[in-house]
A and B are shown apart, each in its own frame.
Chain A
Amino acid sequence: MNFTQSFRLAIKSLTTSKMRALLTMLGIIIGVGAVIVILSLGNGLTGMVQQQIDKLGINMIQAQLFGGSENEMPDPEDMYDLVEANSDILTGVSPYLGVNAVVRHGSDKFDRTHLYGVSEIMYNSVTGYTIDGEQLAKGRFLSYMDVDRRENVCVIGAYLEQEAFDGNALGKQLSINGRPLTVVGVLKRNAELEMLPGSQDDQIYIPYTTALEIMGSRWVNFYIFTSSSGETAQAAKEILVNWLNSFFRTDDGEYMYFYVMTMAEQANQINAMMGVAMGVLVAIAAISLLVGGIGIMNIMLVSVTERTREIGVRKSLGAKRRDIRGQFVIEAGTTSAIGGILGIGFGWLLAKGIGAVLGGMLSENMGGGVFDATPTMGAILLSFGVSVGIGVLFGYLPANKAAKLNPIDALRYD
């Protein structure tokens, strides 16, 4: 087969008319570049979501309860019993309740501060993050004993420490609805976010048992469960759903009385949404590839006309139709493949540039994490394959025209 010669000939004709080659490839370069940028940024985002999930724990399950028709709601103790009964799968539970109370320190009143009643499960001592993504700066998080004994302790945000205690809060007290609570831990300041009243740094975690006492109610409508591992999360969800269905006396009360979601499901939901968005963007970028393909077809038609005599000579020397067709298809494929390679390089650089700018902004908003806008090997191979494919597809028509030329007419052509 004359593949190598056709290939070298294609390279030669590309290098002898560089401007023309570049303009021909431009559509492919832009199209492939755009696809690479989109896929790289998408890859970076997916990676960031994954990091976030790893941080929070893939074994986390959230349960939101809306309450039954007669306003019945499971008692927090029921949930603890459920975990105990399924201790091989469910490893912990934390009620998560927002508390409406007045927070004071001395004469200062903090009325925008968020107050949450949780259990020790809220904080994952292995990853060092709370379920909401905070890290500890000083002291410790709430312990099992704190929860069990309804201790008057709390963990506060960096803003509160700064404003109420001048940056030294450990061991000191603040009052919630007149009840004095000792600060046992301080959360790390949220990366780069401005410290403002009501922000993520202006919050307090207290044992949920203490919170229930403060509120004088046992109405808890949000729970966080942990399963023994990421793999058992789905089984844990089923246990919860079954229990909740029987509690609310229904066959399928999900969405109606309650809503249970594993971290993996949440991640899948986010990824699916991003997938759709990326798909739409890639489809738009693909229009440029189509235009690039038409550009290649155009230049190949010109090339066939310019080289009519060469085609005639080759035919007179014994080139069959498929030899001529192959030569021009290889030439078109080579042109678009080189365009594809340039596009991949160009897209990669652009993605790196955008990623550097966007990554900083994103990690501010998501509380840390690395944004790595690198195209996957699959994306690179796919783009390269598609660009070669486009060359071959759009080169076929001109190549076939060349293959069908009559050798006598072609030899006489000036």
Chain B
Amino acid sequence: MEHLIELKNVYKIYQMGEETVHALDGVDLAIDQGEFVAIVGSSGSGKSTAMNIIGCLDVPTSGTYHLGGVDVSTMGDDQQAEIRNKMLGFIFQQYNLIPKLSVLENVELPLLYAGVPGEERRERAIRSLERVGLADKGKNLPSQLSGGQQQRVSIARALAGTPSVILADEPTGALDSRTGREVLKFLKQLNREGDTVVLITHDNSIAVKADRIVRLQDGKIIYDGDSQDPRAVVQPHGAEEEEVEV
């Protein structure tokens, strides 16, 4: 069967002055429809680069990336934008809602760029807000909502375009632990309803909420398997112990 996400021998090499940095150093990764995967690693492990490439925000230096069977590794700016619009839903640490737009308008944005006409756009955005339980806040500005609510709006926005993959980049990073848990529970629920969720985090305690953990270190995958396996959360040799939120 064809994988939803398939990275083959992916390298991402940056030239920083004299130094050559291998942010991704030959990564092979396949994620199937309906999976809940956490990509874990400390800072500098290459997880952000991996998320940029999976999210079609960047292209690999070499190797191939197929998303939904389409090779997206050599696409230009606007083609990538279209793929992001149709296939991907982003959830950011800082929510990244546009402060001058109402909650509903924020959720409508991906549909707007997809060219969905006004009436249908509004209906779909409201349905998306209903899924996160915030349908009554549509007219509010983001700044009038709590952090947890804002993150739920950003989830509604990610869902609005019915994407194939939901990419969550440290979605709990800016939240207190209780709201953070709620957001995770919600992502879990989305996954149960059939959505493919890819979670990027440095935090093991969050990563274990996923079904599968992919651990990156120095641009290489050092573990890829069940999140319940004890090896999944073992800090690799030589790495600093990171603070774990409780």
| Set A13, A313, A316: member contacting B55, Cβ < 8 A | A316
User: For the complex, is B77 an interface residue (Cβ under 8 Å from A)?
Assistant: yes
- SS class, residues of chain B in contact with chain A: helix
**Interface 1/0 per residue, A142-163 and B, CB below 8 Å:** 0000000000000000000000
Task: Write out the residue numbers on chain A whose beta carbons fall within 8 Å of the beta carbon of B145.
Answer: none
User: For the complex, is B112 an interface residue (Cβ under 8 Å from A)?
Assistant: yes
A318 touches B92 (CB 8 A): no
Shortest beta-carbon distance from A54 to chain B in Å: 55
A317 touches B84 (CB 8 A): yes
Shortest beta-carbon distance from B163 to chain A in Å: 10
- Evaluate whether A310 and B105 lie within 8 angstroms (CB atoms) in the complex, with A318-B84, A320-B81, A323-B113 already known: no
| Set B78, B84, B110, B112: member contacting A5, Cβ < 8 A | B112
User: For the complex, is B90 an interface residue (Cβ under 8 Å from A)?
Assistant: yes
**Interface 1/0 per residue, B45-84 and A, CB below 8 Å:** 0000000100101100000000000000000011001101
- Evaluate whether A318 and B113 lie within 8 angstroms (CB atoms) in the complex, with A5-B105, A408-B57, A408-B58 already known: yes
| Set A5, A320, A407, A408: member contacting B82, Cβ < 8 A | A320
User: For the complex, is B234 an interface residue (Cβ under 8 Å from A)?
Assistant: no
- Evaluate whether A2 and B112 lie within 8 angstroms (CB atoms) in the complex, with A317-B84, A320-B78, A321-B77 already known: yes
User: For the complex, is B98 an interface residue (Cβ under 8 Å from A)?
Assistant: yes
- Evaluate whether A313 and B84 lie within 8 angstroms (CB atoms) in the complex, with A318-B161, A319-B113, A323-B113 already known: no
User: For the complex, is B85 an interface residue (Cβ under 8 Å from A)?
Assistant: yes
User: For the complex, is B237 an interface residue (Cβ under 8 Å from A)?
Assistant: no
Task: Write out the residue numbers on chain A whose beta carbons fall within 8 Å of the beta carbon of B114.
Answer: 318
| Set B81, B82, B96, B100: member contacting A309, Cβ < 8 A | B96
Expressed in whole angstroms, the Cα–Cα distance for A16 and B96 within the complex equals 20
A9 touches B96 (CB 8 A): no
User: For the complex, is A114 an interface residue (Cβ under 8 Å from B)?
Assistant: no
A320 touches B96 (CB 8 A): no
A317 touches B113 (CB 8 A): yes
Expressed in whole angstroms, the Cα–Cα distance for A319 and B82 within the complex equals 8
Shortest beta-carbon distance from B85 to chain A in Å: 2
User: For the complex, is B86 an interface residue (Cβ under 8 Å from A)?
Assistant: yes
The chain B residue sitting closest to A410, CB to CB, is B57
| Set B81, B100, B110: member contacting A16, Cβ < 8 A | B100
Q: State the interface size on chain B (CB cutoff 8 A).
A: 26
A318 touches B77 (CB 8 A): no
A316 touches B57 (CB 8 A): yes
Interface residues of A in 290-349 (CB under 8 A from B): 309-310, 312-323
User: For the complex, is A179 an interface residue (Cβ under 8 Å from B)?
Assistant: no
A12 touches B100 (CB 8 A): yes
| Set B78, B105, B110: member contacting A317, Cβ < 8 A | B110
- Evaluate whether A318 and B81 lie within 8 angstroms (CB atoms) in the complex, with A9-B101, A323-B113, A408-B57 already known: yes
Task: Write out the residue numbers on chain A whose beta carbons fall within 8 Å of the beta carbon of B101.
Answer: 9
Interface residues on A, range: 20 to 34
Shortest beta-carbon distance from B206 to chain A in Å: 21
B57 touches A407 (CB 8 A): yes
Shortest beta-carbon distance from A308 to chain B in Å: 12
Expressed in whole angstroms, the Cα–Cα distance for A323 and B81 within the complex equals 11
- Evaluate whether A318 and B100 lie within 8 angstroms (CB atoms) in the complex, with A323-B113, A407-B57, A411-B92 already known: no
Shortest beta-carbon distance from A290 to chain B in Å: 30
Expressed in whole angstroms, the Cα–Cα distance for A404 and B185 within the complex equals 37
Shortest beta-carbon distance from B229 to chain A in Å: 32
Number of A-B contacts (CB under 8 A): 62
Interface residues of A in 350-395 (CB under 8 A from B): none
A318 touches B57 (CB 8 A): no
Interface residues of A in 1-46 (CB under 8 A from B): 2, 5, 9, 12-13, 16
The chain A residue sitting closest to B83, CB to CB, is A318
Expressed in whole angstroms, the Cα–Cα distance for A411 and B55 within the complex equals 13
Task: Write out the residue numbers on chain A whose beta carbons fall within 8 Å of the beta carbon of B77.
Answer: 320-321
The chain B residue sitting closest to A307, CB to CB, is B98
Expressed in whole angstroms, the Cα–Cα distance for A407 and B90 within the complex equals 13
Task: Write out the residue numbers on chain B whose beta carbons fall within 8 Å of the beta carbon of A13.
Answer: 100
Instruction: With a 10 A CB-CB cut-off, give which of A13, A312, A322, A408 has the most chain B CB atoms.
Output: A408
B98 touches A313 (CB 8 A): yes
Shortest beta-carbon distance from A303 to chain B in Å: 12
Task: Write out the residue numbers on chain B whose beta carbons fall within 8 Å of the beta carbon of A309.
Answer: 96
A9 touches B100 (CB 8 A): yes
The chain B residue sitting closest to A312, CB to CB, is B96
B96 touches A411 (CB 8 A): yes
- Evaluate whether A316 and B113 lie within 8 angstroms (CB atoms) in the complex, with A16-B100, A321-B77, A407-B57 already known: no
Task: Write out the residue numbers on chain B whose beta carbons fall within 8 Å of the beta carbon of A317.
Answer: 84-85, 90, 109-110, 113, 157, 161
A316 touches B78 (CB 8 A): no
B55 touches A320 (CB 8 A): no
Shortest beta-carbon distance from B239 to chain A in Å: 24
Task: Write out the residue numbers on chain B whose beta carbons fall within 8 Å of the beta carbon of A2.
Answer: 112-113
B84 touches A316 (CB 8 A): yes
The chain B residue sitting closest to A1, CB to CB, is B115
Task: Write out the residue numbers on chain B whose beta carbons fall within 8 Å of the beta carbon of A310.
Answer: 98
Shortest beta-carbon distance from A16 to chain B in Å: 7
B96 touches A318 (CB 8 A): no
The chain A residue sitting closest to B85, CB to CB, is A318
Expressed in whole angstroms, the Cα–Cα distance for A321 and B80 within the complex equals 11
Shortest beta-carbon distance from A107 to chain B in Å: 91
Top-5 shortest CB links A-B: A318-B85, A318-B113, A320-B78, A313-B96, A317-B110
Some 27 contacts from A to B, beta carbons below 8 A apart, are A5-B112, A12-B100, A13-B100, A309-B96, A313-B92, A313-B96, A313-B97, A313-B98, A314-B98, A314-B109, A316-B84, A316-B96, A317-B84, A317-B85, A317-B90, A317-B109, A318-B81, A318-B82, A318-B84, A318-B86, A318-B113, A318-B161, A319-B81, A320-B77, A320-B78, A322-B78, A407-B57
Q: Beyond A315-B84, A316-B55, A317-B85, list 14 extra A-B contacts (CB 8 Å).
A: A5-B105, A313-B92, A314-B109, A316-B96, A317-B84, A317-B90, A317-B110, A317-B161, A318-B113, A318-B114, A320-B113, A321-B78, A323-B113, A411-B57
